Structure 1
């Protein structure tokens, strides 16, 4: 009950603050908008923008870890503030800084989702999809790409998961067992589920066969399928 009440208060305060920031952005009062975001970070999470800019996304996730549990809804709330900050930076013609922050936010959103974040708080799936259109997928870190792969599987987006799998393979950033397990798990699903995920049964069977042949023949793991 306490957690639910806390989240309700947090989301209500976030909604009010984001509405205020939107108004400041419309007036081109970017500095004031950034102040509002930083003040919210400090009040709710005892963090500040400068610190979060200096940390890796993996380190930020650790800040929201309580023992073995990642406080996913707090994490996605902080990420939502950073996303708004990134948008302001882009609006201020600080493209590189803003885009770098967008990539970090994507990592945080993916982590929040994978660790059980409530997708309804800020329409998390929509926010992730929007960021995937804004960032350069090929430039994601291996860690973020692994999260994207896991998220795509979790959401039943199997074609996207396979694309992510082969990007990691092209970087030699995963081993044989991950891909093998991916295809074998898909074979246990109903054909209509695979169809909805964009990867029909015949493609799953072909994918597993090709995956096994790559490694059994000692083929250099270079990307060919996407």
Structure 2
């Protein structure tokens, strides 16, 4: 029990059972935080949150197959729900601009990196439960940097194509993967090149890596 006499109820969502077990053990070592359930996928997180009504969902972004963490976050925090949903605190290894922007847009209260010390995690959970925004230091630096030096504004489709490009796929393979025509891929690539100020596929991938635009 915390000093204020309240306990923050937490639901863990991570597709690795070992990670969930480690988090459960870690959180059980501090007062004022109780792990009320676990989920290994986005779908499981939605069901568990509806059943257990936690205060905070500790959400990983990469959940293997099925619904990813960003989509699950959006569903949990959706506006217009009959009752307010839980706060969602993203806990991930990744700090790309794309992941941060998508998580915040989906309604996440905070974005924490797994490299943070336990004390930072404990404080972040309590802050999230209270509705306060929580960001890891490196993430906050990236957000501020992006505000002062915004990168090129790519559409979701352009990001999808850029991601496929980074995996070495040709236009025909990208078209198949995204269920569009090769002509559409070429059109989007032309726009990506123009926005990134490059002329080649390799140049686009290098620029996107430098600007941290790849998920």
TM-score by length of 2: 0.31
TM-score (norm 1): 0.30
Structure with greater strand percent: 2
Larger RCO (CA within 8 A; separation ≥ 6): 2
Q: Report which of the two has the higher share of helix.
A: 1
